[in-house]
Amino acid sequence: MPRLPLGLLPALIFGVWFLWAWAAIAEKRAGEIRRGIPAEKRGGVSIMPIIPLFPLVFWGAACLVDVWFAPWGSLVIAGLHLVLALPMIFTVVRDVRFCRRYERT
């Protein structure tokens, strides 16, 4: 069974969780625009402690499973994160397009 190149798994995991943060920010901003909240009263999104805690937990779980069943821990966690990234990409594209359209008008 092929192994992931060293450094690819943590880069993928952290990349997907930063994508999650971007999706959360875009979704919140689009929601506030839809509700008509003025720009000066809009809130933000806190990514702490989710980043770095969740990526580190998933990376640690993958390494732990790899101790006994290499490379299945890395492959399963990488696959789950790739699947998790798909709806986040959709959300970012949808909400960023909405916000840009709103800002032009």
**Angle at the Cα of 20 (from 48 to 14), degrees rounded to 5?**
75
Res 87: pLDDT: 97
Is 29:98 a contact under the CB 8 Å cutoff?
no
Instruction: Output the pTM of the full model.
Output: 0.92
Q: What is the pLDDT along the chain (105 residues), one digit of tens a residue?
A: 778 898 999 999 999 999 999 999 999 999 999 999 998 999 999 999 999 999 999 999 999 999 999 999 999 999 999 999 999 999 999 999 999 999 886
Res 62: pLDDT: 97
Res 82: pLDDT: 98
First to last CA, the chain: 54
Is 19:89 a contact under the CB 8 Å cutoff?
yes
Is 62:73 a contact under the CB 8 Å cutoff?
yes
Report whether the peptide linkage leading into residue 2 is cis, meaning its omega lies within 30 degrees of zero.
Answer: no
